[in-house]
Structure 1
């Protein structure tokens, strides 16, 4: 305890000594702080040897990228109630589904979601694809409202058996998308989709599940998400890379970064996984290049509330420095 206190005292003294230098950093200082905070968030406050570092431990497990310390009991109650409501909406038709057929369809939905999630590296799965999977085996996909009942049962069982939350989200649409050609297109609601999200406690994820080698990529993802968030939800590609240069991601290392590998390939992967959207800044003027926005996968992987907390932490640190 005394050693930890001494380390903290020395750290505070060092921060005071070079505060003037860091105060000159302005915008780049925010990005540099983002790098430090992201590393702490993704490593869970551990040294390279895996030992807990009291000085660098995050304030809460919510800072650990992609992990929420969810109230499993509350989630279980919510999905149980949702399944009961779906059964009630189905009415007498629910009785026409035998227990064997109901279990078979639920298992098929869970199997499809598991394999599709693994194949697409966690990208959210469109609801229509799940309906197609049920229809392919001649089940509830063709019955009015029966599909919603089966999906609700799958959500309940995912939580009970696998420790996954099969969370529903709306497919994100770019602010820069082409204008709708018809009124019908303009009034079309966003498509529903589902993503699997672990409800394991953060400490268990750190110790038993997540590969430490993936920490740099998780930290990079959080930094990019934060930069998008503080840019009113949309950042131009050239502006993004200008900010990333502050982290040492210069043009000459974008393809050969020591920890991230190809940064361009990593960004493409995150776009494919629907964590980010990459669309033309203006469809009328291609010379303006591309912009990045948050997609529905950002909520499933990181959580919008965690992005906000991360940004607030950066800003508080910057205010303290100044």
Structure 2
């Protein structure tokens, strides 16, 4: 962000305005993250916050445009995922909601199954393992999770999982694989640690199909 400060005169944005804008974006991101249960936030939504107040401001000169553009690779994303950097003990004490423990447990189970399958698993195989734990695809009234299929779809929306359709010997099949949130360093390591505690073995030695 420091490199962008050189362009503030061309943009006619004071440091006070910049700080105010950053605070507004952060408030919006935190609100949307809570409102949508951690689902990705579209870039267009954040762009609107900026453009509504600075639509008529002067843009950077052409001599600076290339340098500014090269520094904005992160802004090329279509959506953003908010990932906590808090230590596990701090997160549990101040953020984690005990009333949503069942959702956390379900998330952990699904991520673990996909992780142990090598980071990617066909939909049929995933449901095979979930059924062993009493989680059925056609169950729409689970006492804790409600609609199980929708609960799984929520993990896709929250970017714990990614769902893709691929061509197989018997036609197209759906495949689930770990997405950004599940691949995040602290989350991934924590899941591996919990799995090791459960199976009493290193995760690398445990493989499921």
CA contact (8 A) 1:278 1:292 kept: yes
CA contact (8 A) 2:40 2:157 kept: no
2:119 counterpart residue number = 233
The separation in 1 between residues aligned to 2:188 and 2:30, in whole angstroms, is: 24
Shift of 1:221: 0.8
What are the superposed Cα offsets for residues 132-165 of structure 1, whole Å, 9 maximum, x if unpaired? 431232168955549x79xxxxxxxxxxxxxxxx
Q: Which structure is higher in RCO with an 8 Å CA cutoff and minimum separation 6?
A: 1
Shift of 1:314: 4.0
CA contact (8 A) 1:236 1:281 kept: no
The separation in 2 between residues aligned to 1:118 and 1:251, in whole angstroms, is: 27
The separation in 1 between residues aligned to 2:136 and 2:58, in whole angstroms, is: 50
Shift of 1:224: 0.9
1:103 paired to 2:5: no
The separation in 1 between residues aligned to 2:184 and 2:40, in whole angstroms, is: 8
Higher mean C-alpha deviation, range 113-122 or range 89-98: 89-98
The separation in 2 between residues aligned to 1:275 and 1:314, in whole angstroms, is: 21
The separation in 1 between residues aligned to 2:26 and 2:58, in whole angstroms, is: 14
Shift of 1:266: 0.6
The separation in 2 between residues aligned to 1:260 and 1:302, in whole angstroms, is: 25
1:116 paired to 2:32: yes
Alignment length (residue pairs): 193
Shift of 1:193: 2.8
Shift of 1:211: 2.6
Shift of 1:238: 1.0
In structure 2, relative to structure 1, the CA distance for the partners of 1:190 and 1:110 (3 Å cut) is: closer
Question: Among 128, 134, 140, which residue is 1:248 paired with?
Answer: 134
CA contact (8 A) 1:132 1:141 kept: no
CA contact (8 A) 2:136 2:148 kept: no
1:193 counterpart residue number = 80
CA contact (8 A) 2:119 2:178 kept: yes
Shift of 1:292: 0.8
In structure 2, relative to structure 1, the CA distance for the partners of 1:235 and 1:256 (3 Å cut) is: same
1:273 paired to 2:158: yes
What are the superposed Cα offsets for residues 264-309 of structure 1, whole Å, 9 maximum, x if unpaired? 1111111122221122132x77844311111113246972222332
In structure 2, relative to structure 1, the CA distance for the partners of 1:136 and 1:194 (3 Å cut) is: farther
CA contact (8 A) 1:274 1:295 kept: yes
1:305 paired to 2:202: no
1:210 paired to 2:117: no
Q: Which structure 2 residue ranges, 5 or more long, are not aligned? A: none
RMSD: 3.7
TM-score (norm 1): 0.49
The separation in 2 between residues aligned to 1:105 and 1:236, in whole angstroms, is: 44
Question: Among 81, 86, 93, which residue is 2:7 paired with?
Answer: 93
1:260 counterpart residue number = 145
1:220 counterpart residue number = 106
The separation in 2 between residues aligned to 1:132 and 1:301, in whole angstroms, is: 31
CA contact (8 A) 1:116 1:125 kept: yes
TM-score (norm 2): 0.71
